Structure 1
Amino acid sequence: MTGNGLGEAEMMNLLYLLLLGGALLGAFLLASRGRLLRTAAQLAVWGLIFLGAIAVYGLWDDISRQVRPAASILEDGRMVIPRGRDGHYHVTALVNGTPVPMIVDTGASGVVLSREDALRAGLDPDRLAYVNSAQTASGTVAIAEVRLATLQIGDFVDDGLFASVTEGNQGLSLLGMDYLSRLSHIEITGGEMILTR
């Protein structure tokens, strides 16, 4: 084989496959000539089902974010976060003014941003110094320390909070104890986490 073209053996294989496919298609059409219209309709339905499945798979993250219960603020300023279907408590924080979905994680020591979320929040992950490490469920990951201009969750706003950015892809960002320790009270009851400032 030379360059980008097909060699003689590959051309023969391709021709053979095309002839075989044509023969199978012809046999199928002959066998179902009385039911051709019904068969075509069934193939169209299955094709639409297949395309629908591909679309749902491709949009699943967006769909699951839309149906996930959202946090709410009570009149007394407390924030109520319902437990998600995955058993975690999810919030959308504004990190440097950018919406970032996060998991409230009492097992995490600090605020941890994924590379993707750090980039969206105006940080440049490629220019950070990943000199520290953290232990995660997936193993040890390298992290870099950053200072956030603002972190806002509901009516709770913090300036100059330290956070970590992971070098690898960790999935969702985490809201850990460095943030939660700023609260006066955390309560988990009836499938809800209640945060009080």
Structure 2
Amino acid sequence: MHNHLIVLVTASIVALAAPSLFERYEAKMSSGRPEALDRGPDVVEAAAPAPGMPRETRIAADWGGHFTTDAMMNGRSIPVIFDTGASRLSLDEATARRLGVTPAAGDFRHPVQTANGVTMAAWARIDLVSIGTVSVQDVDAMVVRGAALPKALLGMSFLTRLKGYSVEDGRLTLRN
């Protein structure tokens, strides 16, 4: 009973005060003066690296010791494996088509050694390759004819464009 009495008294006070508060607010709004608002909080971009600080992305080795991940190439997610033995980013024809890269038949004039033997490749360029916070524009690539690569090879044409990369404790660190 005591709790009901407290709720009833509080509700009565609010009911009596509300009309006068509303009338004061209405008079203030019709006075023609702009309503003063509290200044909002300052915006802080805590996730952005400080100017001059390198951006880093770390990739853990898989069970076989290889560094594999998905890279964004020309806005598409492409599975890649890092290969320091590959001079360029290497793609098969199907993956290249997904990225909007379609070499003409006559462009396949460069012999390349693959794990499956010698085949022909066409030189190409990928507009943007991003892995995590690390991005490189205009990456030289080669499109390998007839190969069905399970993953694109991310070779030295990407890695040498970074500020650095290192392997430590089973993790590849990319910096730019």
The TM-score normalised by the length of structure 2 is 0.64
Residue from 81, 84, 99 that aligns with 1:103 = 81
SS at match of 1:123: coil
Matched, 1:186 2:165: yes
Q: 2:139 aligns to what?
A: 161
Q: 1:93 aligns to what?
A: 71
In structure 2, list runs of 5 or more residues that go unmatched. Answer: 1-48
1:127 Cα deviation from its structure 2 partner = 4.7
Q: What RMSD in Å do the two structures reach over aligned CA positions?
A: 2.3
Cα distance in 1, alignment partners of residues 135 and 112 from structure 2: 26
Q: 1:77 aligns to what?
A: 55
Decide whether the 8 Å contact of 1:125 with 1:167 is kept in 2.
no
What percentage of residue pairs aligned between the two structures are identical? 31
Decide whether the 8 Å contact of 2:165 with 2:175 is kept in 1.
yes
Residue deviations 1:146-177 (CA, integer Å, cap 9, x gap) = 12222222222222222100002241211101
Amino acid at match of 1:92: D
Cα distance in 1, alignment partners of residues 147 and 76 from structure 2: 19
* Highest RCO, 1 vs 2 (Cα 8 Å, sep ≥ 6): 2
In structure 1, list runs of 5 or more residues that go unmatched. Answer: 1-74
Cα distance in 2, alignment partners of residues 98 and 126 from structure 1: 22
Cα distance in 2, alignment partners of residues 129 and 114 from structure 1: 14
Decide whether the 8 Å contact of 1:144 with 1:166 is kept in 2.
yes
The structure with the greater share of residues assigned to strand is 2
Report how many residues are paired.
125
Amino acid at match of 2:165: I
1:82 Cα deviation from its structure 2 partner = 0.5
1:128 Cα deviation from its structure 2 partner = 6.0
Residue deviations 1:80-122 (CA, integer Å, cap 9, x gap) = 1100123210121111111111101011111111112111111
Residue deviations 1:55-86 (CA, integer Å, cap 9, x gap) = xxxxxxxxxxxxxxxxxxxx762111100123
Q: Which structure 1 residue ranges, 4+ long, deviate > 4 Å from structure 2?
A: 125-128
Cα distance in 2, alignment partners of residues 140 and 174 from structure 1: 16
Matched, 1:134 2:109: no
Change (3 A) 1:126 1:86: farther
1:1-197 pair list within 5 angstroms: 77-125=55-103, 127=105, 129-171=107-149, 172-197=151-176
Q: 1:59 aligns to what?
A: none
Residue deviations 1:32-69 (CA, integer Å, cap 9, x gap) = xxxxxxxxxxxxxxxxxxxxxxxxxxxxxxxxxxxxxx
SS at match of 2:85: coil
